[in-house]
């Protein structure tokens, strides 16, 4: 029997069957926020939650991309299929990161078991973290066993992306200036595994002991976070890292954890969508009026809370605008 191909479903079907081209097309659709993407994202919902999402976060130059690359080799040895989402903050300092990542990860381009995609931070409607979350979902739906996300732990959106992950690996390296201080506050807190990369450098051991003594001051779970040493360029310590990731999967990735993260994510998406809608409404109301309110706040004639309340009232009852 021959089924009549349904065009609106075929991309979804091909994505779900794991085709790499369908995966690439689906991610592009999602990035461009097309009508097809909305349909896809709805269609994949029942198929999510199978991939293990591993976040790699740490300062620029710590060796995240090199480490991810080495981990891919190990995961492929373990017959796991891999998706990689590299998030570039697009800051002038790290403007070369995407190209660098592409070149380094291109080692795997002929392996259909590895799919790498870079996301630029700029130009995503609704923000970077919801976009990264959607791309991770698409990779999950395509049947990738492991989805690795690389982010520089520099901003709020990156903390959010790290929060999406099932397993969070925070990377440091000696010689990044303030060493451990280079790991931003808030990032250390979310680590399931800490890695000191560039173990071949002379000061690596000092960084390890700094991290360990920092952790020993913490209570509860934080004190038990493993601190691993790796040399990403030679592959030293990568097997132990892959083992630690697998161990976390067995121990900590419960259905409850996932449900809690999913709920947190929906809350955030709702808040983001609402904020975006409000911004649109504000623009639609009266640009000059907003400028005027801002100027009044700046001159100290009006408090921020009062100005916000006034603006909200105007959004609710635009006809009262001039009477406020």
Contact residues for Mg ion (CB under 5 A)? Answer: 64-65
Judged by CB under 6 A, the stretch of 116-124, 209-217, 229-237, 275-283 that binds ligand GDP is 229-237
Mapping DSSP to helix (H, G, I), strand (E, B) and coil, where does residue 118 land?
A: strand
The rounded Cα 179 to chain-centroid distance in angstroms is: 23
201 touches, from ligand GDP, Mg ion, none (C-beta below 5 to 8 Å by class): ligand GDP
Based on the shown chain and the rule CB under 6 A, indicate whether residue 126 belongs to the binding site for ligand GDP.
no
Residue 198 lies near ligand GDP (rule: CB under 6 A): yes
**Closer residue to ligand GDP in complex, CB, 51/204:** 204
Q: Kindly provide the residue ranges of all beta strands, DSSP E only, lying in the chain, ordered along the sequence.
A: 52-57, 82-88, 114-120, 146-151, 167-172, 193-196, 227-229
Residue 15 vs 87, nearer CB to Mg ion: 87
**Closest to Mg ion by CB, 100 or 143:** 100
Structure tokens that stand for 254 in this block: 């419960």
With contact defined as beta carbons under 8 Å apart, do 53 and 167 qualify?
yes
Q: What is the C-alpha R_g of the chain? A: 23
- Residue nearest ligand GDP, Cβ-based: 63
Give the nearest distance from C-beta 56 to Mg ion in angstroms: 9
Least distance between Mg ion and beta carbon 256 (Å): 32
Minimum distance from CB of 7 to Mg ion (Å)? 38
Burial class of residue 313 (count of CB atoms within 10 Å of its CB; 0-12, 13-18, 19+)? middle
| Whether the Cβ atoms of residue 139 and residue 26 lie closer than 8 Å to each other | no
Alpha helix segments (H runs only) across 6-147: 7-16, 20-31, 35-44, 64-77, 97-105, 128-141
Let me know: does 92 contact 86? Beta carbons within 8 Å.
no
Binds ligand GDP (CB under 6 A): choice among 231, 241, 244, 314:
231
In the 8-state DSSP scheme, what is residue 173?
-
Report DSSP letters for 253-281, one per residue: --HHHHHHHHHHHHHHHHHHHHHHHHHHH
Among Mg ion, ligand GDP, none, what does residue 226 contact (CB within 5–8 Å per kind)?
none
Q: Give yes or no for residue 55 binding ligand GDP (CB under 6 A).
A: no
Does 151 bind ligand GDP (CB under 6 A)? Our answer is no
Of 84-123, which residues contact ligand GDP (CB under 6 A)? 100
Identify the DSSP state of 53: E
Smallest Cα–Cα separation from 195: which of 159, 169, 232? 169
Distance in Å, CB of 66 to ligand GDP, minimum = 3
Binding to ligand GDP by residue 197, rule CB under 6 A?
yes
201 binding ligand GDP? (CB under 6 A): yes
Stretch that binds ligand GDP, among 214-222, 231-239, 261-269, 296-304 (CB under 6 A): 231-239
Residue 66 binding ligand GDP, by CB under 6 A = yes
> Shortest Cβ distance from residue 104 to Mg ion (Å)?
8
Task: Please report, as ranges, the residues that interact with ligand GDP according to CB under 6 A.
Answer: 58, 60-66, 100, 197-198, 200-201, 231-233
């Amino acid at each position: 029997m021959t089924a009549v191909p349904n065009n609106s479903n075929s991309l979804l079907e091909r994505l779900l069957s794991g085709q790499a081209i369908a995966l690439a097309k689906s991610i592009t659709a999602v990035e461009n926020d097309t009508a097809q993407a909305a349909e896809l994202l709805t269609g994949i919902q029942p198929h999510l939650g199978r991939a293990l999402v591993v976040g790699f976060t740490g300062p620029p130059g710590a060796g995240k991309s090199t480490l991810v690359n080495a981990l891919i080799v190990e995961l492929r040895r373990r017959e796991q299929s891999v998706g990689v989402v590299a998030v570039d903050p697009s800051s002038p300092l790290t403007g070369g990161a995407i190209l660098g990542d592409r070149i380094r990860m291109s080692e795997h381009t002929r392996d259909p078991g590895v799919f790498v995609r870079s996301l630029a931070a700029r130009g995503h409607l609704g923000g970077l973290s919801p976009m990264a979350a959607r791309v991770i979902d698409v990779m999950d739906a395509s049947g990738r066993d492991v989805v690795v996300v690389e982010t520089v732990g520099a901003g709020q959106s990156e903390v959010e992306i790290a929060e999406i992950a099932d397993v969070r690996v925070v990377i440091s390296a000696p010689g990044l200036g303030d060493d451990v201080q280079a790991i931003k506050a808030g990032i250390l807190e979310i680590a399931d595994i800490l890695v000191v990369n560039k173990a071949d450098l002379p000061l690596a051991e000092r960084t390890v002991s700094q991290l360990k003594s920092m952790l020993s001051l913490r209570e509860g779970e934080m004190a038990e976070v493993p601190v691993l040493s790796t040399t990403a360029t030679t592959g030293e310590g990568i097997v132990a890292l892959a083992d630690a990731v697998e161990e976390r999967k067995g121990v900590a990735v419960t259905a409850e954890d996932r449900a809690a993260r999913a709920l947190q994510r929906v809350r955030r998406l709702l808040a983001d969508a609402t904020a975006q809608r409000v911004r649109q409404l504000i623009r639609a109301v009266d640009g000059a009026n907003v400028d005027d309110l801002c100027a009044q706040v700046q001159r100290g004639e009006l408090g921020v809370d009062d100005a916000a309340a006034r603006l909200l009232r105007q959004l609710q009852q635009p006809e009262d605008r001039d009477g406020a």
